[in-house]
Amino acid sequence: MSADAVRAAVLGAGSWGTAYGKVLADAGCEVKVWARRPELAESLNATRENGDYLPGVRLPDRLTATADHEEALSGADLVILAVPSQSLRANLEHWVDALGDDSTLVSLAKGVELGTHKRMTEVIVEVTGVPAGRVAVVSGPNLAKEIASEQPAATVVASTDTARAELLQRASTTWYLRPYTNSDVVGCELGGAVKNVIALAAGMAEGMGFGDNTKASLITRGLAETARLGVALGADPLTFAGLAGLGDLVATCTSPLSRNRTLGERLGRGETLEQAVAHTKQTAEGVKSCLSISELAAAAGVEMPITEQVVQVCHEGIAPAVAMKYLMRREPKPERRS
Ligand SMILES: NC(=O)C1=CN([C@@H]2O[C@H](COP(=O)(O)OP(=O)(O)OC[C@H]3O[C@@H](n4cnc5c(N)ncnc54)[C@H](O)[C@@H]3O)[C@@H](O)[C@H]2O)C=CC1
Ligand SMILES: O=C(CO)COP(=O)(O)O
């Protein structure tokens, strides 16, 4: 199927749902975006802009919006799930009856579910009962604002079903986004979820006034603990050297556009979590996923010291400076463990 013949429903009209919807439309797909609030859908259709989440970005005519999920899902070949991780299960339970029989279900969310410790593709399979091959993931260094302003970037589309990954690749290839396929769904999802936690830590370092050595050390050791968890859960270690691993980690830990890094920076400057969260209506997934990821790691017998310290700062009231001291005073170790 060429991209021109593809119909896509994007469920979630936040920054990334809207930006990825624009990618699909620019690639030639017919795109219907579902917005939770009817007034946002109406204003998007009337102004060709998502003034709440991507002001100033003109959206292509092939992209329209609705607040009716059945209308969005009608005839969709691709169903793009673009709501925050912790709300995916409840939303999907509401949408499941309207899904087409052979549609490909695509997760954009970068998080791990609280309580169950499930990755988003696991939640999708559990709620919908579809085979795992019908599910795909998009993950990579893709800050929504940069993609929406058509700055060149690459990404990964991952599915265990190569034909579906290739369909998604064709449907989202544009002059500014180059998707690569990958069959390692576990590695791509974990790379996306854990980098948000490491970005909180990198932001804290920034907020405490530390420079590039500190941030590079956090990025590199953050990647080491991400890969350790991934390998324990069956991921390919090489995925973490790719776009969904190192690529996204670097973009998120260094960009002022990252919500996680920005929130971490506020914590590093001494704000409480409540104060830092109050500055944005957008989702910083790492705040909740640090809990589910550290529990997932504990259950798998994997040590994730940076993630554990992010939990301490976000949820146990430990000062970032104390967390940093703890990391520096851990017992000496070889860089690589056998
Ligand atoms: N913004 C970015 O640059 C990127 C974000 N992502 C991931 O995409 C996912 C979505 O993020 P964004 O679009 O950026 O978030 P956002 O905060 O910009 O928008 C979230 C959207 O979901 C809606 N929403 C919030 N809670 C909801 C609920 N309980 N039920 C239904 N809808 C709800 C909001 O109204 C909004 O439309 C996250 O997992 C994020 O990590 C991935 C790549 C890039
Ligand atoms: O996932 C992202 C970039 O790839 C966006 O990161 P933030 O959620 O921290 O803004």
pLDDT digits (tens, 9 = 90+) for 108-150: 999 999 999 999 999 999 999 999 999 999 999 999 999 999 9
CA dihedral (258, 116, 106, 93) in degrees, to 10, reads -120
Q: Looking at the chain, which residues constitute the CATH 1.10.1040.10 domain(s)?
A: 187-328
Q: Which one of 3.30.300.30, 1.20.1560.10, 3.40.50.720, 3.40.50.2000 gives the CATH number of domain 3-183?
A: 3.40.50.720
Q: What is the arithmetic mean of pLDDT over 169-198?
A: 98
Helix residue spans in 48-84 (DSSP H): 69-73
CATH of span 187-328: 1.10.1040.10
With 90 as the cut, is the pLDDT of residue 44 above it? yes
Here the contacts of 320-323 (C-beta below 8 Å, separation 24 or greater) are 320/204, 320/207, 320/208, 320/267, 320/268, 321/208, 323/204
pLDDT of residue 333: 93
Please tell me whether 25 is known to bind a ligand.
no
> How crowded is residue 122: how many other Cβ atoms within 10 Å of its Cβ?
18
Give the model confidence (pLDDT) of 256-287 as tens digits.
999 999 999 999 999 999 999 999 888 999 99
pLDDT of residue 338: 58
- Mutational pocket test of ligand 2: of 23, 107, 110, the residue with most ligand atoms within 8 Å of the beta carbon: 110
Asked if 187 contacts 229 with a C-beta cutoff of 8 angstroms, the reply is no
Please tell me whether 13 is known to bind a ligand.
yes
* 34 CB within 6 A, ligand 1: no
Please tell me whether 211 is known to bind a ligand.
no
- Give catalytic status of residue 288 as yes or no: no
Please tell me whether 325 is known to bind a ligand.
no
As a whole number of angstroms, the distance between CA 68 and CA 98 comes to 11
pLDDT band at residue 2 under the 50/70/90 scheme = confident
Helix residue spans in 96-184 (DSSP H): 120-128, 144-148, 162-171
Please tell me what DSSP assigns to residue 62. Answer: T
| Nearest-atom index, ligand 2, CA of 284 | 8
As a whole number of angstroms, the distance between CA 179 and CA 162 comes to 14
Please tell me what DSSP assigns to residue 236. Answer: -
CA–centroid distance, residue 104 to ligand 2 (Å): 23
**Shortest-distance Cα residue to atom 8 of ligand 1:** 109
Helices then strands, each counted (H, E), the chain? 15, 8
Class of residue 63 by CB neighbours under 10 A (exposed 0-12, middle 13-18, buried 19+): buried
Structure token pair of residue 242: 């790719």
| Nearest-atom index, ligand 1, CA of 143 | 3
CA–centroid distance, residue 285 to ligand 2 (Å): 9
| Nearest-atom index, ligand 2, CA of 143 | 3
CA–centroid distance, residue 337 to ligand 1 (Å): 36
* 144 CB within 6 A, ligand 1: yes
pLDDT of residue 337: 75
Closest CA to 201 of 127, 107, 336, 294: 294
CA–centroid distance, residue 260 to ligand 1 (Å): 13
- Report the chain's mean pLDDT, rounded to a whole number: 97
As a whole number of Å, the end-to-end CA separation of the chain is 46
pTM of the full predicted structure? 0.98
Q: Looking at the chain, which residues constitute the CATH 3.40.50.720 domain(s)?
A: 3-183
pLDDT of residue 125: 98
- Mutational pocket test of ligand 2: of 188, 259, 287, the residue with most ligand atoms within 8 Å of the beta carbon: 259
pLDDT of residue 149: 98
Name 68's bridge partners. none
ipTM, 2 dp: 0.98
pLDDT of residue 4: 78
